[in-house]
Structure 1
Amino acid sequence: MRGYSIRTATPDDLDGARGVMLDTVYRDFGTGYVPRWHRDIIDLEGAYVAPDRHTLLVAVDEADGTIVATGALDCRGPAHPPNPREIAERFPSGKTAQLRRTYVRPEHRRRGLARLLVHELLDFAAADGGYDAVYLHTDPAVTGAEPFWRSLGTVVCDERQLPDGGQGIIHFEVELPASVPAPRVLAGAPRDS
């Protein structure tokens, strides 16, 4: 049975986190690195580590110390364009915690890592005290992404239902915790996601 730990990324973790992210955009998204969409992956320090109110979490396989999953949060709301105007207006920068880069290496999936990362990110947002909403978007073409996010949030716009189909992205709001619970302990037992 594998054990994992989740922690805030340190400068020593950035190359491992970047590897998880880049592998995901190449393998799961099929797009490869696209600067206008993935610039933050190259500058994790500037995007998530250095700024106040932002964070980058990593899940570490305790057996070998490798980073196997990531999750990030920042205070930048979705921009219009490319997102629908009503989404950008509903989730303004500075008041919105945006969940980003929640990725798990395939061989470590179905162990609850993504769900635990999201809960830790939500706790971070709640502790900040300045966020009114939590937002994320996902590409439903990525295997498992849509059902996972539907289990945690509410769909506020499915672009596939827009007259022009938009980008085909699904936009979600996730409930912001009212208070920050005690720290979670992560066991190695398999979980539901």
Structure 2
Amino acid sequence: MRDYSIRAAGPDDLDGARAVMLDTVYRDFGTGYVPRWHGDIIDPAAAYLTPPRHTLLVAVDPDGGEIVATGALDARGPAHPPNPRHIAERYPSGETAQVRRLYVRPEHRRRGLARRMVAELLTFAAADGTYRAVYLHTDPSVPGAEAFWRSLGKLVHDERDDPDGGNGVLHFELPMGR
């Protein structure tokens, strides 16, 4: 098993992190880059490096120094729309740490890397001292996503159960471990 290095991203990591994120939205999500959803991918410095309560983590492959995974956290709660109103109200901006962009290149999956990154993000959220909850949403059509997040957190809303099916998104709360 490789000993991946996980660290807070710096300016020199942004091109590699952006490549992981863009590859994921094109390959795994099939949406490609959508400005209203993915603006943080194009400017991760403004989204995650500059604000003091935000972070972007990268995982580096020790065999080549390549960034192979990303994980981010910010203080922006889920917006309504597109998320259900009760979810936006339950997880307000400023009080909620939202996990974002937890992406691992396919050839590096199933090695515990995503789980390690989530642990680092939860430690960051707890150390902040002002976050009330940790929230995330995921697309259950991404292979392994639903089972992974169910193993780590509590499902608080499944849009597939909504009368109109919503956007089919799953909403989770993760324990901060304080």
| TM bracket, shorter-chain basis | over 0.9
Cα distance in 1 between the residues matched to 2:62 and 2:90: 40
**Cα offset for 1:40?**
0.4
TM-score (norm 2): 0.99
**Cα offset for 1:17?**
0.3
Gaps of 5+ in 2: none
The Cα offsets for residues 93-136 of structure 1, whole Å up to 9 and x where unpaired, read as 00000000000000000011100000000000000000000000
Cα distance in 1 between the residues matched to 2:4 and 2:79: 35
Cα distance in 1 between the residues matched to 2:73 and 2:136: 10
2:122 maps to 122
Higher RCO (CA-CA < 8 Å; seq separation 6+): 1
**Cα offset for 1:169?**
0.1
Question: How many percent identity over aligned positions?
Answer: 76
Matches within 5 A, 1:61-80: 61-80=61-80
Gaps of 5+ in 1: 179-193
Cα distance in 2 between the residues matched to 1:91 and 1:175: 14
Cα distance in 1 between the residues matched to 2:44 and 2:83: 23
1:22 maps to 22
Moved over 6 A (4+): none
- State the AA in 2 paired with 1:142: V
2:140 maps to 140
The Cα offsets for residues 48-92 of structure 1, whole Å up to 9 and x where unpaired, read as 011010000000001110000000000000001110000000000
Matches within 5 A, 1:84-163: 84-163=84-163
TM-score (norm 1): 0.91
Number of equivalent positions: 178
SS at match of 2:152: coil
Give the aligned CA root-mean-square deviation in angstroms: 0.6
